[in-house]
């Protein structure tokens, strides 16, 4: 997994988990999230790949290897920090500001769309999936990653959020995995899911990735 050098990347919002990618204990889990998404999009060279909710740009160095044209967007107003990072890391990417419920792109543009730990922050899931569907080309690969809500993960996130000053968990995670999966199944039939740890049932796991193929 190719990550930017720590000295080149900066957090972009109060709930940005950037620091956890570089801490000895937490880095394994946070990198695992990216590995799960990466394994689902595989090593195809997509013409246009979109990272929705790119945050500080932690995944862009790896995603650049999987596409010809890389697009990244987020709702935060600190895209200049992401631009500084990609310049230092020599990453070629087009950066945009926008919301997952109002994507700033024309229809049917991307043949690969990924979003890591964003959809759980969205209350209007139907609108979010509608926008993702709109900008995706026919047969596009869509991969979403999101945490599984249970007693164990609730405890972990409560501890983690104590290390993120001014961030409130109850205001950040407004949709749980059951609601997200249900909203996806209402729109798509071609859905594949994986979760971690894989030897636990989904409801007792920590993180889930969902791969969707847009057929219509």
Task: Check which CATH number belongs to the domain holding 28 and give it.
Answer: 3.40.50.150
Range of the domain at 51: 6-213
CA 58/CA 31 separation, integer angstroms = 10
> pTM for the full model?
0.92
Let me know if residue 34 belongs to a domain.
yes
pLDDT digits (tens, 9 = 90+) for 191-205: 999 999 988 899 989
- b/e per residue, 148-187, with b = 16+ CB within 10 A? bbbeebeeebeebbeebeebeeeebbebbbebbbebbeeb
pLDDT on residue 165: 63
Residue 141: how many CA atoms within 13 Å on its side-chain side?
22
Number of domains in the chain: 1
How many helices (H) and strands (E) in the chain? 7, 7
Question: Quick check: 21 pLDDT over 60?
Answer: yes
**Is 21 within a domain?**
yes
Mean pLDDT of the chain: 92
Q: Does some domain include residue 168?
A: yes
Q: Is the pLDDT of residue 170 over 90?
A: no
Whether 162 shows a pLDDT value over 70: the answer reads no
Question: Is 84 inside a domain boundary?
Answer: yes
Does 1 map to a domain? Answer: no
């Amino acid at each position: 997994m190719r990550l930017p050098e720590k000295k080149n990347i900066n957090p972009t919002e109060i709930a940005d988990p950037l620091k956890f990618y570089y801490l000895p204990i937490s880095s394994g889990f946070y990198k695992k999230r990216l590995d799960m998404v990466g394994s689902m999009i595989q090593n195809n060279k997509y013409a246009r790949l979109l990272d929705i909710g790119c945050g500080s740009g932690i995944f862009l160095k790896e995603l650049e290897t999987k596409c010809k044209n890389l697009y990244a967007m987020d709702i935060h107003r600190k895209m200049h920090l992401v631009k500084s990072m990609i310049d230092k890391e020599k990453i070629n990417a087009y950066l945009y500001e926008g919301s997952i419920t109002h994507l700033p792109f024309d229809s049917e543009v991307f043949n690969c769309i990924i979003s890591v730990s964003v959809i759980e922050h969205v209350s209007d899931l139907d609108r979010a999936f509608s926008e993702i569907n709109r900008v995706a080309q026919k047969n596009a690969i869509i991969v979403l990653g999101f945490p599984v809500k249970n007693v164990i993960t609730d405890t972990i996130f409560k501890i983690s959020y104590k290390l993120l000053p001014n961030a409130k968990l109850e205001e950040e995670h407004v949709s749980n995995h059951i609601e997200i999966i249900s909203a996806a199944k209402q729109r798509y039939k071609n859905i594949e899911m994986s979760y971690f740890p894989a030897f636990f049932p989904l409801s007792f796991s920590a993180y889930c990735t969902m791969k969707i193929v847009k057929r219509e």
